[in-house]
Chains A and B, each alone.
Chain A
Amino acid sequence: MLDILSPYATIASFALINMLLAASMQVALSSGVFSVATVGFMAIGAYVSTLLTQRLDAPFGLALLGGILAALASTVFLIYPVQRLRGLHLAISTVAFVLVLQVAVRNLPDLTGGANGLYGIPVRTELWQLLVSAAVLGLLLQSMRSSRTGRALRAMREDDTVAAATGVDIGRYRNLAFLLSAAIGGLAGAFSAHLLNVISPDVFGFERIVQVLSMVVLGGMGSWSGAYLGAAVLTLLPEVLRPLADWRDIANGAILILVVIYLPGGLASVGARVAQRLRRPARQQPVPLGDLDDAQPRSARSAVHAAPER
């Protein structure tokens, strides 16, 4: 029976790895840390775990652990900029982190195979391992949501000054968000190397950043389940859109624009919206608490506009 399922197993494995990657980026973004370093962590996880299995014949479990630890160690280079930078500056410094790593990998041929990459990696990743990892990670992130840590991270995203004022140690929690992102990214990288049996620097660059970011945004940045959903949809979408063939990229770009404009909460918010619509048909939406400070200038402005009509 497994033979019949094998073509689906491949695509399911890709989807699961992408789900881990999306979760890695979402953890950072939803804590207000605008980081795309996930792709760099993935590269580190992939190369370190491959070196462990290929050169040292290490068991797969140990290689996965090695990948995670190496990704965690690499956050040393990010911890300092994280504390000083915000918003777009931080985003760009993490893009630079990914691209510097890519150049480094290209220029260390003895260790990484240079631009050609590494071949013949033993295929060790199995579907059940990915399923278990994704499920465990989902449970972990879900239980974190309502914990003190999860609340602190979300408060930080809403407004870090307020969070700091209520006793959240911003520096520590930012580092925590990075470490979580690194561990998940490193794991995903190690799994993907041992699934594809070949890695090269080309796949750990800017395009991958865009891909993972798209998944998170499409699914919804607010929760891990949104990231999972976005990753699953964007992995399967090319298969579904196969009739569109040549127009696939253009459709992808258009989907990104349409989602951020019309669906700011991502696909994950659709269910909530529909439920809300059903519960309260044709009533005005209340102003959410978070918008109170903005409500004032808005009403002031509408008063200005209304004045001449009176």
Chain B
Amino acid sequence: MLVNMAVNAIVLGSVYALFALGLTLVWGVLRILNMAHGAIFMWGAMFGLFLANTLSLPLLGLLPLVMLCCGVLAVVIELIAFRPLRRPNVSEEDTELATLISSIGASIILVSAAEKLTRADILRLPASVFTVVPMEFGPILITSLDALMFAIAVGLSALVSFVLRNTKQGKALRAVAYNHRVALLLGINVDRLTTLTFFASGALAGAAGVLLALALSSVYYLMGEALLVKAFAIIILGGVGSIPGALVGGIVLAFSEVATVTFLSTRLRDAVAFGLIVVILLVRPTGLFGTRQARSL
């Protein structure tokens, strides 16, 4: 039983991490806390539902399309709601607050649009998208969906990590994260990189949206909100901007949640993420993998 619990936690945690990855990327590189990330994730599930119904594609055909749609959605949000706020003569903290508010506005719009479209119903992806086959490895029982989710989540994280480390774009991105203004002086096209970062973060959120919609067999207009708070916990746990941090944070959070449900009470499940945030911020505000020091006086 314990082994299966652990396996479930790892699978769930890897999808949490996939969601948190886009958020941590945007926060770490651009210092934007994008509260619309949950809404983009939810729209991933919506796009998935729409595309699956109209084109009747299998999951592996559906996933790239949804990622494309969500990537574009994220870029559009950046263009409309965030780019006008990057003014040269405004202090960093004022810009942080302004983009935060603007992203809340974007989130409200996206969520209520989805509410109208679905009439606040809980919908499901058609069964044709993916056939779940139970698999058995010794004492471990998992489904083919679990295995695929884990593989996709880890694969995409590895891809992002590779791009950041080994390509010129990745190097430029790390320069922007280190210091926006210096990167600009070095001739890095910050606007284009911002667009790229947002596209990647939206695509990752979209992938997570389709996968979780399948795993929970529901598509609901509020599905992004709870996940957003979990992602905060994951990012703070792993360290802002850290990719291995997001993976480890996601799995630690999932483990704590599964353990809380098993050993304590189902009702306390939601408190786990918040409790984790408070403890980490008190003990080690930079997170497990964080490098940037929290500013101290």
Q: Which of B85, B88, B282, B297 contacts A160 (CB 8 A)?
A: B297
Check B271 against A261 for contact (C-beta < 8 Å).
no
* Size category of the binding interface on chain A: 35 or more
Which residue, B85, B105, B109, B229, has most C-beta atoms of chain A within 10 A?
B105
- Indicate if the CB atoms of B108 and A256 lie closer than 8 Å: yes
With A89-B294, A96-B278, A261-B85 in contact, do A256 and B105 touch (Cβ < 8 Å)?
Answer: yes
Interface residues of chain A: helix, strand, loop or mixed (majority): helix
Closest CB-CB distance, B55 to chain A, in whole Å? 28
Q: How far is the CB of A259 from chain B (nearest CB, A)?
A: 8
| A253, B294: Cβ atoms closer than 8 Å | no
How far, in whole Å, are A214 and B100 apart by their CA atoms in the complex?
11
> Hey, which chain A residues are within 8 Å of B94, CB to CB?
264
Whether, in the assembled complex, B98 has its beta carbon less than 8 Å from a beta carbon of chain A, the answer is: yes
Interface residue A243 (Cβ < 8 Å from any Cβ of B): no
| B residues in contact with A97, CB < 8 Å | 278
Residue B27 lies at the interface, judged by CB distance under 8 Å to chain A: yes
A17: shortest Cβ distance to chain B, in Å? 22
Q: Which A residues touch B99, using CB under 8 A?
A: 260
**B281 to A93, Cβ gap below 8 A?**
yes
Out of B88, B96, B225, B297, name the residue touching A298 (CB < 8 Å): B88
Residues of chain A lying within 8 A (CB to CB) of residue B295? 86
Contact A99 B93 (CB under 8 A): no
Asked if A140 is at the interface of the complex by the 8 Å CB criterion, the answer is no
Residues of B within 8 A of A85 (CB): 281, 285, 294
Q: Closest Cβ of chain B: how far from A221's Cβ, in Å?
A: 8
Binding site for B on A (CB under 8 A): 29, 32, 34, 80-81, 84-89, 91-93, 95-97, 99-100, 103-104, 106-107, 158-161, 164, 170-171, 206, 210, 213-214, 217, 221, 246, 249-250, 252-257, 260-261, 264, 291, 294-295, 297-298, 301
* 15 A-B pairs with C-beta separation under 8 A: A84-B294, A89-B281, A92-B33, A92-B236, A106-B267, A107-B267, A254-B109, A256-B102, A257-B102, A260-B85, A260-B99, A264-B90, A264-B98, A295-B89, A297-B181
Residues of B in contact with A (beta carbons under 8 Å apart): 27, 31, 33, 80-81, 84-85, 88-94, 96-102, 104-109, 111-113, 115-116, 181, 184, 225, 229, 232, 236, 267-268, 270-271, 274-275, 277-278, 281-282, 285, 294-297
List the 3 closest A-B pairs by CB distance, nearest first. Answer: A256-B105, A253-B108, A249-B112
